[in-house]
Structure 1
C-alpha cells in the first residue's frame, strides 16, 4: 500500500485538523464505532477521537494491515493507503487512550471499518470459447447450451449483477437472429426464425459473439466482456417416416411395429392423434417413439390412414412440430366377384343377326382396381334350352359382352333362354344368372278402325284438358311390346299444338284432349290428320301407309268474351303539382268479338282521376297531393257497349313525385323552458321537420324573425341539418312565458319558409330540472284556453251563489242553525272555487 513520508504525513494531518470536521460530526469521544468506507481512494481522514483528562494520547492495534492507523497525540484515525473489498471486507481494531505514563485511561474500544465495494472488476467468462450443438427444427426458446461469467465484485450489489446478450452473429443470412440468449441465465436457444430456417445443408456452423455486462446492463459505465460461441447445426432427428405400407388382413400377432420416430430432445412424451374423425384409430406409439398397428386392417373398409405424431413435455406443451404419418393398406385377393344384378335380363329381337351385341353381364370385385386381384373373366357354363344349338350365345372373356353366334332365334320355337355365366378372378369364382327374352319384330303397322271420324263441335271456352274424341287403332305385333304400342300424333292441321293425344297402354285407345285455349276469332275450324306409329322401328321392307292415318274436323263455336286489356297493369309517374285535366296515361282494351269498348274507373276514393269512356285517356280531376297518398291505385273497367255485363278489370297505379309544397315546422308543440333565475350559458334544442319527401337528408336553416325584442333577448345557433340551439342572451328574465318568433327555411326547390312562435317558459324548477310552478304569459291578454277556463269558473261561482241564496231562503225559518251551517259551507266552497 502507498505510504507517506513523515513530512508528507504531517502535512496531511495538519490539513485534516484544519478542516471544520466538527460540523461534519467527524470528532467525538472514544467509544465502540463502525465506519463504512468505499474501497480505493488512497490516503483519507476517517475520524478524530477527543481526549478526556488525564488521557493525553491514543493507541490503536489489531487488523490495521499497514493501511489503518491513529495519530497518538491528536487521536486522528486515518488511512494511509487504499482499502480493497476483494482482499478484505472488514477490519477490526482496538483503540485505547493513555495518560502521560502510558497507562490505559479508557478502552480498549472496538473500531470496525466495513469496506464498501465499488465496481472495479469486469466480469469474466469461464471459457475463452464455447461450443454447442443444435438440431435442425429444434423448439424455439428451448436452451441447448449455456455460457457463464463471474464478477469479483460484491454479489449483493448491482456491481456483480450480470446480463448476457448476443453482439454479433456470423453469418447472418436472414437478417434476423437465428439464436437468442437468456439475459440472466446465459442459456442459448434457437429463435423462432432459427427454429424455422436452421438447416445443416445450407449452413452448419455459426459463430456468436456473446457479451456480458455488470451493473445489470443498465449503466453506460458498466464493464463488458465477450466470448465466442461456436454452434454446430446437425440434421433433425425428428422426421416423418416415409409412407408406410401394410398388407391387409395380416395374420401376425398384433400390435406390430411399423415405424419409429425420434425427438431432438430427451425425455419427451410421444402421442398420436387422428387427422380425420374415425370410429377408432388402429395405431399406437410407445415412449420410445415406436409406432405400432394394433389390429389387422381391411383395405376394402379403408385404404389409407393419415395421423400425426407429437411430442410433449411434462407440462403438456408441444416440443416438436407435429409429424404427419401416412399409411397405405395394400390389397390382397380376399373378395370374390359379385354379380351386379341377381338376374340379368336381356331382350333380343328374333331377327337379330350373327355377331350382334345383345347385352352385357356386369360384375364387380371389391379388391383394388386395375390389379390382378380385381381382374374378372367371364365364361358361359350352361344354356337352357340348348335349342336349336347349345352354343347359341358367346360371351367375351374380359368384358362380359354377350353376342349371338348364329341367326337362328325364333320366338315361336323358344321365347326365353337361361344362361349360367361363370365369373372368376385369380382365386374366387361366382355364377351370374342371365335370362334372354326373344321378342317379336315390328313387322305389323297400326291400323285405324275408321279412316274418318267426321266432325266434332266445341265451344271456344272449353276447358284445357277436356277429351273431345276417342280414337282406336290396332297392331298385330306381340302385345305389351314396343312393336305393338301405339303413339298417336296430330300430323297436320294443328300448327299451334292446340290438341294432344294420350294412349291407354292397356287398350291402345287414344284420347284427343284440348292442349291450349281455343279462339273462334283466330281459328274457327281445324282439319286434323292423325297418324299412328310404334316406338320400335319397323323392320326393313315394312312401311306405314294410309291405314295408319285418320281424319276429323273440329268446329269451334263462338262464345261472347269480355274485353281484353292490352297490358296487365298500367303504371305512370307524375308530379303532384300537375294541373287539373292533365292526361296521365291512356288505357286500351279490345273485344274479341269486335264490339265497341267503354271505360270507367272504380275505387277512385279521393276523386283525383277521371277517364274518357271512349278513348281510355285518364285525366287528373282534382289537385294531387303526395303527402296524402304517394302511390294511388284505382281499377279501370272495360265493358262491351252492347252487353255491359261483359267487363274486364285492370289496375292503374299512379306514383306521385314530390314537389316542395310544404313549409317546414317544429317537430313538437311542447314549449321550451329555462330554470329561473337564468344564470347564462343555458340552451335548449329545437328540431324542424317537413312533410315533403326528403331525397337524401333534410336540411333546415333556423333564424330569429326580424323582431327587436327577440333579437335582443335570444340567439339561435346551428347543431346539425335538422336541429338548432335556442339560448338566452342575458340573465334578466322574469318568471313567465315568452313568445320567440323563429323562422325556418327548408332546402327544397324552390325553398319554403315558415314563421313559428315558440313558447319559452322561464320558471322555477324542481330538483329534476323541470318546471313545477305555472308562470304568467308575457302578454297581458289571456290565451284562448285561459279565457275559457276563467269563463267557466265565473259561471260556476254565479251558479253556486244563486243556489246557496235559494237554499238559504227556503229553510231559514225551519232550521236557523242548519241554515247557518249551510251558509258556512257555501262560503267555504266559494272560497275554494275562487
Structure 2
C-alpha cells in the first residue's frame, strides 16, 4: 500500500513541476504580444467521465488556465496571438491534438491543433461584444479519443479609448429666474461614453463650458450648471446660449470629447413698477351720456410680463370721484373710466381726477426699490346736449276722496327744461294708462283734475303716466308715473256677512244661543270696523228672542223661553238693525229667518216642517220619497186616461166655433155613384154649419198616395181655390 500511494503522488505532482518550468516562457510571451495573460490554478476535477475515459489507466489532469485577454481594435499584418492551450498530461510518445469550439471558434479565433496557440484573425470591438466563451479539448492525435474532458474558458476583449462622449438628450433648455443670486443652480447635463468605465480612464469624463461665460459656470465632474453673474436682468437680455463640452481620459490631452448646447431663458419676476405713458389725459363727454358708458382709457406700461405686469386702477382724488369710476381691463392691461351718475352741463362743465396704477402681485424681494405704482391726472370736459324735460320728482303720489267733485284738482306735477335755452313744457296723460279717461291734466301748469266719479270699493289705486314735452322740440319728452290713491268715505251701510238662517229646537232651553251672526262693511275705516246691533223699536220687547253683542264684533241671538211649537208657528222673522261707526254713521236692517225644528235629545236637527211632524214616527225619508213617487205616477195615469176618454167621445159634427178650413181635402177622381155615398157622410152636407168646409170622417183614413197635388191654403174667410 505505501508503494502504490507513493506512485500516485508522483503521477500527480509531475505535471505541476513541468508546468512550473514552462510557465516563465508563457509569461514572457504575454507582454510582448499584449494579447493574453495565462494564469495557473489547481487541477480541475472531472465531474463526468465518458466510456472512453474509463479505459484510460492514468488519472485525469486539469487545465492550467481560466481566462485570456485580447486587445480590441488591434490590426496588423499577422493574426494576433491570444494565448496557448496546454495540458498537464505527460505526452510520452503520444501526440496531442487541441480542438477549439464555442463563440467565434473558426471565424474569429483560430487554434493551432498541435501547439495549442490561439490567434484572433479578425478585428474585435469591445463595445460590440466584451467577452467570448469557448470550449477547449485535448484528444489523441491518432485515435481522436479525448484525453481530457471538454473545459470552458473566457477570452475577454480589453478596452481602448475609441468612443467619444455623447449627449444623448441634447440640445437642452432650462430656465432660471432673473435677478438670481450668484451660484444659483440652473440645471445639469450628463454625457455617456461607450468605453469600459472600470478599465483605465477611457470613460472618465470632465465637463467644461466653451461658450456662455461669464454668465454661467459648470462643475467639472457633476455637470451642474450655475449662474456666474448675479442679478441678470430679463429686461436687458432674456435668452443665453451655452456650449458644454464633455472630455474623457479625465480631461487629459489625447482624450476624446463631445459637445452640446443649452439654451437658458430668464423667467420674469416683478422687479419693475408700472408707468403711465403720459402724465395728463384729456376726455370729453356729452352730458346726456348713458350711465355706465366708457368715457376713456388710461394705460400704465410695465416692463414685466404675465401676472407681474398686471395692475389695478383706482381714482384716489379729484372733484369727480362720486360721478366716475375706473375698472381694470385684464386683457388690455388698462383702466376704463366709466360714468356712475348723470352729468349736468348747466351745473358743472369739467372735472379733474387723479388715477393710480399699482401692481397686483408684489415680490417682497424687490419691495425696497420703492412703490410699485404710478399716478396720472385725468381732465374730463362735459359737453352741452339738448336734454328732455326733468320732472321735479321721479314719482308722484296723490290722494283723493271717493266723493270728490268732478273737475276738482287732485294734484299737480311740474317739469323744467334743464338746458340753458329753456323751452316751455306741455303736459299730457298717456291714455294707455287711463283707458276710462277718469282724469284730466292742464297742459300748461300740470294740474290733474277728476273727470269721472271714483269708487274706492271698485278700485283703490289708479296708476297713470304723465308726459312732458318740449314745445320747441317735440322729440324731447319725459315720462313720470303718478299713483293716485282713492281715500275712503263712509258711503256703504253695514249688512250681514252672509245669508243667515237660524234653526230653533222645540225642546230648546231659555237663554240658548240660536245663531251667531256677523256683519261686513264695504268701507274701510282707518280704525277698523265697529258695529252696533239693535232690534227695531217695535221689536224691542220681543217675547221670543233677544240679542247679545260679542267682543269679536259679532251678535248672538238667544231664545227667551222654551216650548216652541212648529204646529203653532213654524217660522219667525227677526229684523236686526246694524249701524257702523262712520261719520256720519250708516245703518241697514237685515232680517234673520228662524225656523222651528224637531231635534233629537242631544240637539241635532231632524225635521223643520209641519208635514214631517204629523207623519208616523219611524217613517224614513226613503219611504216618504217612494210614496211621493207613487202619487205622481197615479196622477200621470189619471191625466192620460181622461185625455184619451175625451178624444174618444168627441162628436163627428163640427161645432160652430170650429174652423175646419185647414181640413179640406180635394179629390180629382170622379164620383163613384153609390160607392161615393158610402165613402162620405151625406148628412154632413145637409148641416147648415158646414157651408164653409167639411169635416172628414174619422173612421176612414184618406188614401194620400193617389193625391196628384196639394190644395193651396186659402186666405181666411175664403173657401175658393
The TM-score range, normalised by the shorter chain, is 0.3 to 0.5
**Greater share of strand residues, 1 or 2?**
1
Larger radius of gyration: 2
**Greater share of helix residues, 1 or 2?**
2
Length-normalised TM-score, structure 2: 0.38
Q: Which has the higher contact order (CA 8 A, sep 6+)?
A: 2
